[in-house]
Structure 1
Amino acid sequence: MEPIIREARPEDRPFIEEIARLTWDGEDYLARVFDEWLEDGNFYVLELDGKVIGTAKLTFLPGKVGWMEGLRVHPGYRGRGYGKMLHGFLLELGERLARERKIEALEFTTDFLNKHTISMAQKTGFHIKAKFFNFGAKVGDFEPEEPEKIEPGMEDLTLGTIPVGWRFVKRSEEALEWIRKNADFYDLNGLRFLVSKKGTTFTPLDVGLATLKAMLPAMAWVARERGSEEFKVMLPSGVKPLLPGIKRLGLFLWDETEEPNVLVFRKKLI
């Protein structure tokens, strides 16, 4: 039978859990967001012979952006063009939504080593919008200190492109309202950072070495409260000259790279 792409259904859960278990050494978030994505809509699966072998999701973000995420192919079916098929499906969906004036651009993020995805993006009209470093950290390397949860204002959005977990939004009043619904803001002695409501990927709103050093114990506290022994810190590419100092603070890059390891792609549709 020919593969089909259709909307995800509740009975697809076992297939999604299997794909997640076999992706990123079992650390894939797909199974954890399954119910949320079903409710949100625009969540699709690739079915072959009655089995779900791939997934793709389009999420509406501020600024009329269609955010492409959750593109997965079961390891047993990779190398057969199914990833390209899902990518193409999201492109067609985005173009239809653009004609309906619901979005104006498509965006997504990927790791800098994902050469196949980067090549596919460039061939289909995407360009790199922003670059970030995604650092890892261990809660046990810090003395956790409890921060104060706060209600953010526009003055707190100090970055032009703001990471909220693995989604990235452009600074605006609309983005502020979206961030308030999807992230928590914290303050520690006047230093502020945000973290997505369900994750442990943090965005400092001041990226100097001294301020980052002061905020890390508070990030460790939040991560520990969420039941995690590790957390991530997303920093803009401009911190590259500070890499030696950042690493001395206890942060690490898995690939030991000196270049930004997170790429944000954009394709303008209108």
Structure 2
Amino acid sequence: MEPLIREARPEDRPFIEEIARLTWGGEDYLARVFDDWLKDGGFYVLELDGRVIGTAKMTLLPGKVGWLEGLRVHPDYRGRGYGRKLHSFMLELGEKLAKEGRIEALEFSTYFLNRESIAMAKKDGFSIIAKFFNLGAKVSAFEPERAERADLSMEDLAFGIVPLGWKFVHRSEEALKWLREKGEVYEINGFKFLAPRGEVTFTPLSTGLACLKAMLPGMAWVARERGREDFDLMIPSGMKPVLPGLKRLGLFLWDETEEPNVLVFRKGLV
């Protein structure tokens, strides 16, 4: 039977949960965002013989960007071209939305060791527009200190491309509004950091080792409040000089590397 790509439905949940359980050592976020993605739309699955074996999502971001995420294939079905089939479907969807004037480009982020996705993206005309370091930390490595909720202004957005978890938006008034809606801002010791609602990948809004050191107890507190034992820090590649200091503070890279481990890709459509 030929595989079918269709919009996701509520009854797909058990299949999605199974794929998430078998991805990234069970740490995949797919199951946590299932309901939100269904509500948002642009969430597709690949079905084979009545079984969902793959997923893909397009989220509309500020700046007329179609953000590609959630491309997954069940481990039992990898290496058979299903990932390419889903990717090609999303590219065609992007072209359709561009013709309708709804988006002007496709973007996505990926881990630096995701060689298959990187090769596929470059072949399809995507270029790297930004690089980041994603560092991990254990809550137990710090003495959590309460961080207070704060507001977000344009002055807080020092970077041209701003991370919110593993999504990235281009600095603008529209992006500021989106970040306020989708994220939460905390302040501790006079410094602010940003996080997606309910998640623990933090974006520091001030640079420098001393600033980050001052924020880490607050990040640990937020992570603990959210029932997590670990959290992540997303920082731009230009902060590479502070990496040794961050490691001394207890942060680590999941796969030891001297180069940025998160790549942001873009393909213009108009």
Q: Shorter-chain TM-score category?
A: over 0.9
1:254: how far off?
1.1
Q: CA RMSD in A?
A: 0.7
Q: For residues 57-95 of structure 1, what are the alpha-carbon distances to aligned partners after superposition, in whole Å with 9 as ceiling and x for unaligned?
A: 000000000000000000000000000000000000000
Paired position in structure 1 for 2:172: 172
Within 5 Å, which residues of 2 pair with 1:92-103?
92-103=92-103
Give the Cα separation in 1 of the matches to 2:148 and 2:36.
Answer: 28
TM-score using structure 2 length: 0.99
- Which secondary structure state, in structure 2, belongs to the residue aligned with residue 239 of structure 1? helix
Q: Residue 45 of structure 1 aligns to a residue in which SS?
A: strand
Residue correspondence of structure 1 range 31-180 to structure 2 within 5 A: 31-180=31-180
Deviates more, 1:204-213 or 1:236-245: 236-245
2 CA distance for matches of 1:148 and 1:78?
44
Write the distance in 1 (CA, Å) between the matches of 2:196 and 2:112: 22
Kindly state the Cα deviation for residue 242 of structure 1 after the two structures are TM-superposed: 2.0
1:233 matched residue in structure 2: 233
Tell me the SS of whatever aligns to 1:116.
helix
In 2, Cα distance between equivalents of 1:83 and 1:131: 24
Aligned residue in 2 for 1:255: 255
TM, length-normalised to structure 1: 0.99
Q: CA deviation at 1:189?
A: 2.4
Instruction: Please give the alpha-carbon distance, in whole angstroms, between the structure 2 residues aligned to 1:99 and 1:198.
Output: 35
Q: Give the counterpart letter for 1:179 in structure 2.
A: L
Aligned equivalents of 1:242, 1:193: Cα separation in 2: 17
Give per-residue Cα distances to partners, 1:190-243, cap 9 Å, x unaligned: 211111112000000112001100100010010000000110000100111222
Cα shift at 1:245: 1.2
- Paired with 2:213 and 2:74, the residues of 1 have a C-alpha distance of 40
Aligned counterparts of 2:50 and 2:144: Cα–Cα separation in 1: 48
- Distance in 2 of aligned mates of 1:49 and 1:30: 22
AA in 1 matched with 2:78: R
Q: What's the CA shift string for 1:155-180, capped at 9, x where partnerless?
A: 11111111101100011000000000
Which stretch of structure 1 is more off in the superposition, 126-135 or 140-149? 140-149
Matched, 1:204 2:213: no
Whole-Å separation in 2 of the counterparts to 1:82 and 1:103: 25
Whole-Å separation in 2 of the counterparts to 1:206 and 1:62: 23
Match of residue 221 from structure 1: 221
List alignment gaps of at least 5 residues for structure 1: none
Partner of 1:246: 246
2:5 aligns with: 5
**Aligned length in residues:** 270
Is contact 2:111–2:261 with CA below 8 Å preserved after alignment? yes
Asked if the contact 2:194–2:202 (Cα under 8 Å) also holds between the matched residues in 1, the reply is yes
Partner Cα distance (1:23, 1:188) in 2: 34
Counterpart of 1:23 in structure 2: which amino acid? T
Aligned equivalents of 2:152 and 2:24: distance in 1? 33
Distance 1:214 1:32 in 2: 30
Question: Hey, what's the Cα distance between the residues in 2 that align with 1:225 and 1:132?
Answer: 26
Measure the CA separation in 2 of the matches of 1:222 and 1:95: 40
- Structure 2: gaps spanning 5 or more residues: none
- Cα distance, 1:127 vs structure 2: 0.3
Following superposition, the deviation at residue 134 of structure 1 comes to 0.2
- Matched AA of 2:16: I
Q: Which amino acid aligns with 1:228?
A: R
Aligned residues with identical type, % of pairs: 72
Give me the whole-angstrom Cα distance separating, in 2, the residues matched to 1:151 and 1:186.
8
Q: Residue 250 of structure 1: CA displacement?
A: 1.1
